[in-house]
Structure 1
């Protein structure tokens, strides 16, 4: 979470019905009050091969990819 000019920005992982992950954003002017958070929606959807859920025995991820050579 970061704050800029009195607005707090919280980036988090969202998961859809196919268990595919995306990066989401919520904003607040009062982060201590849960009802004050406003969902801004998806801000990043990955397009690498591991980002898609191919079936019941697999998990897709947005955050935890293994890069070639790592």
Structure 2
């Protein structure tokens, strides 16, 4: 997968970026709606923040894709 820093980013990189930012937006909305930050909300925020950050980093770097015909290789022939 071509990352966002390449000249032609792949569709997967763009989807990862959008999903990461949506996770951050949900987290921010939950914080703004909460009058006081409870234990459950804090746990959810600690889960969503690294997930969103890792999606953004994966989108920037790019994840290697397997070859197209990797499932068609025959063994022993």
| TM norm structure 2 | 0.20
Looking at CA atoms only, which structure, 1 or 2, has the larger radius of gyration?
2
Structure with greater contact order relative to length (CA < 8 Å, sep ≥ 6): 2
Report which of the two has the higher share of strand.
1
